[in-house]
Structure 1
Amino acid sequence: MPETCSTTEAAGRLGMAVRSVQLMVDRGELQAWKTPGGHRRILLSSLEAWLAANAGDAEPPAPVPTRRPLTLLLIEDSVHFQNLISLVVKRELPGAELHVASDGIAGLAMAGRLEPDVLLIDILLPGIDGAALITSLRSHPQFARSQLIVVTALDEAQRAPYAFALEGVPVVHKTALVAELPALLARATANLATPA
């Protein structure tokens, strides 16, 4: 039985790239010598010793699928309510990313770029009102799983002209944000966890 092996043979036994084995030799982790032609010859005893010492690490860990954090997009023109909703979201969903748009046009552009999990939308917005925004979002399949929550200062009678867009969308009045938004966020995130 030969006492040495090539870097290619060592790489095969270790399940590594040839370059990784070369670097291990350069760092002194494997004992080797070079042929007159410049090829490394690795001592099998060194290779066996490394394998024994790193037996627990021999199987590389399976890659953990990276999941993006829960992404929310708030489309609201009032800085006061942007701040209030931001505080509620941070308290209820600490690992979530909250993005904010101050008008309907910017909100629509950000929604297309971010494809958020949850959208919190005011009805009365500069640019495009919330109802037109919701209608537009619903017409695009990429937002089929996105959860919508309407945040508004309009009472039920004032919301009547926008009813066509609000059907099936939870609505929270701005005066009840702190009390009602946490439950709506919990329901929205639970709906996201349900398979489509």
Structure 2
Amino acid sequence: MQSDTYTPSQPPLDHCTTLEVAKMLGMAVRSVQLMVDRNELEAWKTPGGHRRISRASVERWISARGHTGADNATPPVLAGRENVSAKRHPSPSVKAAVGVKQILLIEDSVHFQNLVGLIVQQHFPGVVLHVANDGIAGLAMYGQTQPDVLIVDILLPGIDGATLITALRSQSQFARSHLIVVTSLDEEQREPYAFALQGVQVIHKPRLVAELPAALSACLQSPKASS
């Protein structure tokens, strides 16, 4: 069981493989290749012929997508742009400063942990992002952080997301948190978990880049997240 604030396990390289970018963005590898061909992403080839894509260009694409995505969401501005990344704390037991918003992401996929981290860095640089890798760690970290927004994947090791949501709803402090569910499951595949998803915003992972910034903006600006 492992939990931590959002920090990649190793310092991120300045480039990614095509497959890594595809997984981060929830796209097919061919779609990423076409983006490179259209000069939407900066790329080059190694002496061995392997394509490498600039991480900075991926971050710029995510930022631009938040401004001009399919839903034409208004870009959220909740903190000073002088901060270049999401504020992080070395341990979830260290409370954020008074008035600083917190997000807890419970997600076992490193690719989607990094993708949510990039979105928070780009759009909410003053927000603290905590990450738990499984449902059991997530339950413990929720009690420590009592976040303004909780983002949960349905398919988790330890405790699945639906069971975790049900457990948290039995706790009085859960009333102060907004809930967003992210999943790779389509609507039919979600049916077994429907008991926990009533009234909950669900974002399909292929739509994460387009939909999560606006969803987080609405949650973080809500009085519920300030109570």
TM-score between both structures, scaled by the size of structure 1: 0.64
SS in 2 for 1:156: coil
1:147–1:192: 8 Å Cα contact kept in structure 2?
no
Query: How far is the alpha carbon of 1:67 from its aligned partner?
Result: 2.1
Residue in structure 2 matched with residue 156 of structure 1 by the alignment: 187
Query: How far is the alpha carbon of 1:99 from its aligned partner?
Result: 0.5
Unaligned residue ranges in structure 1 (runs of 5+): 1-65
1:115-154 alignment runs, 5 A limit:
115-154=146-185
* Residues 1:165 and 2:196 are matched in the alignment: yes
Question: How many angstroms apart in 1 are the aligned matches of 2:226 and 2:220?
Answer: 12
* Residues 1:77 and 2:108 are matched in the alignment: yes
Aligned residues: 131
CA RMSD in angstroms comes to 1.5
1:1-196 alignment runs, 5 A limit:
67-192=98-223
1:152–1:174: 8 Å Cα contact kept in structure 2?
yes
Question: How many angstroms apart in 2 are the aligned matches of 1:127 and 1:162?
Answer: 16
Question: How many angstroms apart in 2 are the aligned matches of 1:171 and 1:84?
Answer: 17
Residue in structure 2 matched with residue 50 of structure 1 by the alignment: none
Query: How far is the alpha carbon of 1:195 from its aligned partner?
Result: 7.4
2:178–2:224: 8 Å Cα contact kept in structure 1?
no
TM-score between both structures, scaled by the size of structure 2: 0.55
Question: How many angstroms apart in 1 are the aligned matches of 2:151 and 2:225?
Answer: 20
Structure with more helix by fraction? 1
Query: How far is the alpha carbon of 1:89 from its aligned partner?
Result: 1.3
Question: How many angstroms apart in 2 are the aligned matches of 1:83 and 1:133?
Answer: 22
Query: How far is the alpha carbon of 1:194 from its aligned partner?
Result: 7.3
Superposed CA deviations along residues 46-100 of structure 1, whole A, max 9, x for unmatched, are xxxxxxxxxxxxxxxxxxxx62410110000000000001111111211000000
Give the partner amino acid of 2:154: I
Unaligned residue ranges in structure 2 (runs of 5+): 1-96
Seen in structure 2, the aligned counterparts of structure 1 residues 140 and 194 have a Cα distance that, compared at 3 Å, is closer
Seen in structure 2, the aligned counterparts of structure 1 residues 195 and 76 have a Cα distance that, compared at 3 Å, is closer
Question: How many angstroms apart in 1 are the aligned matches of 2:113 and 2:146?
Answer: 20
Task: Give me the identity figure in percent.
Answer: 63
Seen in structure 2, the aligned counterparts of structure 1 residues 126 and 192 have a Cα distance that, compared at 3 Å, is farther
Larger Rg: 1
